[in-house]
């Protein structure tokens, strides 16, 4: 059987991007609560992180970032309460979870570790980019 080809990567944040969530995130920085581990990779002071923008530009496939309340029904079924997550939309109409919240958290905000984890997951799932 041929490998499925990754057509898109979908990053789902552990937030719903409402004003209340943004307030809590800002307040959390003040009281040192833990932010979303995916946000640590993609944003810097509530703006796109320059290294993330470079990563997006260099990616061989589109990368879409969504708040958990913005996912479609098929993604919601796959993600459920395990956010943040990275999902691959593949040929043959498949959606496959590549990275779970624990795996993203293990990157400690390091984009190189994230990239290594992501490519290892793609290989483990017998996918190609």
More confident residue, 61 or 75: 61
User: Which pLDDT does position 28 carry in this prediction?
Assistant: 52
50: which 2 tokens?
A: 């320059």
pTM over 0.75: yes
Query: Is residue 24 scored above 70 in pLDDT?
Result: no
User: Which pLDDT does position 32 carry in this prediction?
Assistant: 46
Dist. CA 6–CA 129, nearest whole Å = 5
User: Which pLDDT does position 60 carry in this prediction?
Assistant: 96
Q: Mean pLDDT across the stretch 48-53?
A: 89
- 123 and 4 in contact (C-beta within 8 Å)? no
Dist. CA 5–CA 10, nearest whole Å = 14
Q: Mean pLDDT across the stretch 89-106?
A: 92
Q: For residue 56, what pLDDT band results from cuts at 50, 70 and 90?
A: very high
User: Which pLDDT does position 21 carry in this prediction?
Assistant: 56
More confident residue, 9 or 27: 9
Query: Is residue 123 scored above 60 in pLDDT?
Result: yes
Measure Cα distances from 43 to 83, 85, 124 in Å: 16, 16, 28
Query: Is residue 105 scored above 70 in pLDDT?
Result: yes
More confident residue, 32 or 122: 122
Q: Is 115 exposed, middle or buried (0-12, 13-18, 19+ CB in 10 A)?
A: middle
């Amino acid at each position: 059987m041929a490998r499925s080809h990754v057509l898109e990567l979908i990053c789902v944040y552990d937030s719903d991007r409402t004003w209340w969530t943004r307030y809590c995130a800002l307040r959390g920085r003040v009281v040192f609560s833990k932010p979303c581990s995916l946000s640590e990779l993609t944003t810097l002071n509530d703006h796109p992180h320059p290294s993330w923008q470079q990563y997006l530009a260099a990616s061989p496939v589109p990368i879409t970032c969504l708040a958990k309340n913005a996912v479609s029904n098929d993604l919601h079924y796959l993600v459920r309460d395990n956010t943040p997550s990275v999902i691959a939309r593949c040929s043959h109409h498949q959606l496959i979870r590549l990275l779970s919240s624990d795996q993203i958290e293990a990157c400690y905000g390091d984009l190189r570790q994230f990239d290594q984890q992501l490519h290892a997951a793609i290989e483990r799932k017998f996918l190609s980019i």
